[in-house]
Amino acid sequence: MECLNKIKEVFRKVSEFEQALNRDYGVTLNEAMVICSLVDGLKSAGEISACTEISKTRTSRVLLSLEKKGIVIRSFCDDDKRKMMFMLTDKGINKRDKIKSINVNIDFSM
């Protein structure tokens, strides 16, 4: 039972962090991970999914949400017009820089 209590505590701390992230920066944890994955320019949804370890379906939903917020834009891949590529807007770059400056200090010792 002690092990489950430790896992529950980890989930509680992650949930608290996500609530603060949403309150202070207007993004979810998954959105923040996608934003930070776009640090080096254009990426496909598959590349973002692999980088963040978020499922492809969830990545697609997160990207749509970020597009609606004006944080990312999509374009066609130059080599394969069937593939969509994503990059940060100026607003997204600003958001990424703010998120990267967060000092995460979560004590997981229990």
CATH code for the domain in which residue 46 is found: 1.10.10.10
Q: Please identify which residue in the block is written with the tokens 């995460």.
A: 104
Beta bridge partners, 85, equal 44, 75
Average pLDDT over the chain reads: 89
Residue 21 counted as domain residue: yes
This prediction's pTM: 0.85
Phi then psi for 76, rounded to 5 degrees? -80, 145
Phi then psi for 86, rounded to 5 degrees? -125, 145
Note the pLDDT tens digit of each residue in 45-64.
999 999 999 999 999 999 99
Residue 109 counted as domain residue: no
Of 41 and 105, which is predicted with more confidence? 41
Kindly state the average pLDDT of the residues 4-28: 90
Note the pLDDT tens digit of each residue in 77-91.
777 777 789 999 999
CB atoms within 10 A of CB 13: 13
Q: Domain range for residue 14?
A: 2-100
